[in-house]
Amino acid sequence: MKKINKNSLNGFVNYGIIIAAFIVLQILIGKGVLSNSLQSLLVPACCYIVMAVSLNLTVGILGELSLGHGGFMSLGAFSGIVASILLQDLIPMAPVRLAVSMVVGALAGALGGVIVGVPVLRLQGDYLAIVTLAFGQIIKNIIMVLYVGVDETGIHVAASSDRFVLAPGGTAIIKGPMGAVGVAKLASFTAGAILILITLLVVQNLVNSRSGRAIMALRDNRIAAESVGINVTKYKLMAFVTSAALAGAAGALFGLNYSSTVASKFDFNTSILVLVFVVLGGLGSIRGSIIAAALLYVLPELLRKFDIAEYRMLIYAIVLILVMLATNNDQLKSMLGRIIPKRKGAVSNG
């Protein structure tokens, strides 16, 4: 009983952090204190927070390595963009259209998750890592040759530019390697904050539920979990597909924040970047993912401010390595443990 209380308290603290940060940032924007460059980072930072929290569900809670989280983001981004343009006349209200597009993005991500997860999660070992790695590349390459457009006869989809013919007055939505161009910007910081709250609601409730305990049991000892009758594939798939769907929603928000999006944006590097956020924030720690994603996404932009602008990417890399070493340093950990006695327990949880 006591433990459950602690977990849900932990969850409420996370909601509190997000809501407090949202209010503070809104006040700062209202007062005109926040610079343009920081304001432009709010929406993508929200997307990356959702990405990190959702990947943490796969990597930290389920204990499977996924190297293709960017692929789900890509699916969500492009399906969300297509949905938003198709629904332009049907739903003139931008926030509603954004919400519908994000749902479409989530569904696309979930579909990708099912396609990858059903065969692969039945296997043991590192197969998920290998397949998701390939999945990310496949998605990138498919979207690079994909042409999607709409005219009065309906939606046109083609795999090469010469077969992609639109009636006059039609709109090309995705143009192969040029990506999606001319997207109306629908995303807002409010939508991002709401998406984070929804993500937290989904992930934290899943983790603290009966299913969540089954998922963690699988992570800790698969054989023991199976011996008490836990359906391995079902619970693995549950966590993985939820994670993919949330990544899809984040992708849709991201795609609708820029007027042009190219498939090569969501490559292996993006997947690894999100994984870095998760690992540095702490595997299994939702709050860690939120903080790590927010700080590490904003950091390279903050480094522009100094005279060291030329080295900002180098410094960013060094900071990442130092954080990794510092958080794994036993001496530092015990030192922190001595200062904050409560941390000892947290550390041993990993």
Partner 1 sequence: MKKKELAALFMAGVMSLGLLAGCSSDGGEASQPPASQAGTQSSQPNGGDGDTQGNTETVTIKVGGIGPITGDLAQYGLATQWGAQIAVDEINALGGPIKLEYDFQDDTGVTDTAVSAYNTLKDWDVDVIYGCTTTAPCVAVASETFADRYFQLTPSASSPDVTADKDNAFQMCFTDPGQGMAAAEYLKNSSLGTKLAVIYNNGDAYSSGIADAFITKAAELGLEVVSTQTFPDDKTTDYTVQLNACKDAGADVVFLPIYYTPASLILAQAKQMGYAPTFFGGDGMDGMLDMEGFDKSLAEGLLLMTPFNASGTDERTVDFVTKYQADHGILPNQFAADGYDCMYAIYEACCQIDGIAGMDHAQLCDALIAMFTGGQFQVDGLTGTGMKWLETGEISKAPVVVKVESGVYVTQ
Residue pair 109/248 in contact (Cβ under 8 Å)? The answer is yes
Give me the residues paired with residue 148 across strands: 157, 174
Give me the residues paired with residue 154 across strands: 151
d(CA 221, CA 207): 17
Order of strands, sheet of 260-261, starting from the edge strand that comes earlier in the sequence = 154-158, 147-151, 171-175, 180-181, 260-261
Under rule CB under 8 A, residue 334 binds partner 1: no
d(CA 271, CA 67): 6
| Window 107 to 146, contacts with partner 1 (CB under 8 A) | 141, 144-145
Under rule CB under 8 A, residue 168 binds partner 1: no
Site mask for partner 1 (CB under 8 A), range 4-43, x = bound: -------------------------------xxx-xxx--
Range 8-12 contact pairs with CB under 8 angstroms and sequence separation of 24 or more: 8/208, 10/287, 11/200, 11/204, 11/208, 11/286
Query: Residues touching partner 1: how many (CB under 8 A)?
Result: 48
Under rule CB under 8 A, residue 163 binds partner 1: no
Q: Which is nearer to partner 1, 217 or 323 (CB)?
A: 323
- Least Å distance between CB 338 and partner 1? 18
Nearest to 177 by CA among 223, 220, 143: 143
| Window 188 to 247, contacts with partner 1 (CB under 8 A) | none
Under rule CB under 8 A, residue 185 binds partner 1: yes
| Half-sphere CA count of 221, side-chain side, radius 13 A | 6
- Least Å distance between CB 259 and partner 1? 4
Among 115, 155, 167, 314, binds partner 1 (CB under 8 A): 314
Q: What token pair was written down for 37?
A: 């460059």
| Residue 132: other Cβ atoms inside 10 A | 28
Under rule CB under 8 A, residue 311 binds partner 1: yes
Under rule CB under 8 A, residue 312 binds partner 1: yes
- Least Å distance between CB 185 and partner 1? 8
Among 260, 335, 340, 344, binds partner 1 (CB under 8 A): 260
Under rule CB under 8 A, residue 89 binds partner 1: no
| Site residues for partner 1 per CB under 8 A | 35-37, 39-41, 44, 141, 144-145, 161-162, 176-179, 181-182, 185, 254, 257-262, 264-265, 300-301, 304-307, 309-314, 318, 321-322, 325, 328-331
